[in-house]
Structure 1
Amino acid sequence: MNADHFRRAFIQKGRRGLTTVSQQQQEADTYVRRDDSVEGLLTGLVEGDRYALARAITLVESSNPQHRVQAQRLLSKILEREATLASQQSTTLANSTPSLSKDEPSADAKEQPLRLGKSFRIGLSGPPGVGKSTFIESFGMYLVSKGHRVSVLAVDPSSARTGGSILGDKTRMTELSRSSEAYEEYVARNTTEAITLCEAAGYDICLVETVGVGQSETMVADIVDMFVLLVPPAGGDELQGMKKGIMELSDLVIVNKSDGALVDSARYAQIEYTSALKFVKAITSFWKARVIRVSSMGGPEGGIDKAWDTMKEYFQIMESSGELQKKRGHQRKIWMWRQVSSELMDLLNEDAQVREMASELEAKVLKNEVMSGAAAHKIVEKFMRGMSS
């Protein structure tokens, strides 16, 4: 991928915080002159350079073997750096004298960004029309006002094929996309690695949004610390149509749009969802899923601050109990095997003889001449013979 490719890509995407084409052109020209080596990208990430972050995410999302090698080298460097800094941080904390001040911070005080390795990964899902984009923009801007740096990763498994949203993030979250303390991106293949890159670039809150339907909810739940389900202010048929599986994944259910004429409907929906959760097994003994009502527009029923307070409580409980560390370790194991599956598929697709056989077998499976399981076995057998020859 050459400089012209990246310049065009960045201008087309209108990268975050840049309001004019000339600004975008100037920053893109500056970027392509930067060091594109692993060390150069690492330096850019540490400095919070969003173009280094964009380039790094492009590498981890790429199926190009050379890009994958470079991406893995970069990720290894990041882990080494974080381990060193975490060790230094532990030593500093152990030798520091606790503050004796009992002054309480004001309501408008900035929150301290989460410590290295203590970033908060929040998954957000919900049916079409629930107001997810409005919520994420309001929530993201609220977090920025509190001193956090926020990344928003929209997980769209189809974007590897379709290119993602036609109009892009800027039409969905105009205010957040302009913030220098926020970063938005579509990802498809390697969301966990994209999260690691965002955290390395200093984004201490990572919002992972599901796009589309299907298995993306389960995939996101296996990435994040907390899975949040947004639902509309309605019950009855809406609740019946909600998949039981997604309710089982949820740590928090937010009845959105609890304002104006919809307040009564939102209250009724809260009661119904609370009742439904009684029949759902808790994910952990340390936390029982809750249902709250929120107005993304900051109505009298409570705004974004209510949602954030609940999320912070969850994070503090999970961290202090040790459950957060256990959960992330389990997630890393899940994603290791998913990555194995993904890379094996890449190897199969790169083998010309396997592709030829697969094409023939697909036609036979389509005509019901061969069972899909038998066809799969033949493809794997062909690949293994090629590996051993």
Structure 2
Amino acid sequence: MTAEPGTEYPALTGRKRWVALLFLAFGVAMIILDATVVNVAIPTMVEDLDLTTTDAEWVNSIYSLVFASLLLLSGRLSDIVGRRFMFLGGVTLFAVASVLVASAESSSALIGARGLQGIGAAMILPSSLSVLNAVYRGKDRAIAFAVWGATIGGMAAMGPLVGGWLTTNASWHWAFLINVPIALAVFIGVLLMVPETKDTTHRRGIDVPGALLGTLGLAALVFGLIEGQNYGWLRPKKQFEAAGFTWPLDNVSPAFVSLVLSALLLLGFVWLERRRKAAGQIVLLDLGLFRIKTFGMGNAVAALVSLGEFGLLFILPLFLQSVIGYDALETGVILLALAAGSFLASGLGAPLAKRFGPVPVLRLGMALEVIGVLWLA
């Protein structure tokens, strides 16, 4: 993904910039809510559709697998075809897939629809960030990025609450059908309020070999990390079956093979991108960005925070419902504290960074993250 603000497109100004930000944030909120709402809805879905344990695992996993593996590619495509176009396409696909999830009557239909949701989400997330970078300036951009980040953290925590309330008071179907009116409002709002932007500072085109290696490498990595606990990190714990395929090896787990394969593919991706960059060819990801200290460290910190927060959001609902005995709504209310903390921090982060500098604020945030995780443990 690339965006060159200040040279291509005029900044959004006046009240319009905040209305546009609101619709973009709702689009991001929709996909983050859906990533976590399943955690509290899955027990009811298992009972209603007579899902097996493997089916339930894939309903959870396929969304993250498809979502993560397509982020790089969809980010580059949004620069070429238009960021607003990609965002609106993702919103449309996500809404259609949500209807398919809600109307699914079999495990295969449900898992396939969740995969489509993952594609739509992968189109929405990077394009929304590129739009913010292209049409906001200075302090407005800092506020927009803060709202974007707070939306992700806050909605991840609110997902179980929303899903729990809908599952308890209506049905699990409405945990997905609620996306349709949200998507419609977001589509209209973004179409009217957000200008189209493209990357005109780099050569057009797609690094096809890099896209293949990067997408397959990320998919293999995410699969291995998700399924290692289920199927064994080295030795098989149980038989792996998917879409009529049965894992043929008795001594090595599919998760281990997937992780090894991901390492080879991602190393190949790094080698290819460096070679193409040196030859002056189009690259999917400019690895030179990671030599910029703030960029590299910022991504490392974001990864650590995400591991802590999203790991908790997966484990806590299962613990609270399966071990403590809370229902879906009670679980969501407890997790609401995480959303409150995220929204509060987003409002305080910018003024604190301006007064004390970003590094002390970053250290404080990481310290609070560690303390919170250890306290829960």
Q: TM-score, normalised by structure 2?
A: 0.24
Higher relative contact order (Cα pairs below 8 Å, separated by 6+ residues): 2
Structure number with the higher helix fraction is 2
User: Which has the higher Rg, Structure 1 or Structure 2?
Assistant: 1
Higher-strand-fraction structure: 1
TM-score where L is the length of structure 1 = 0.24
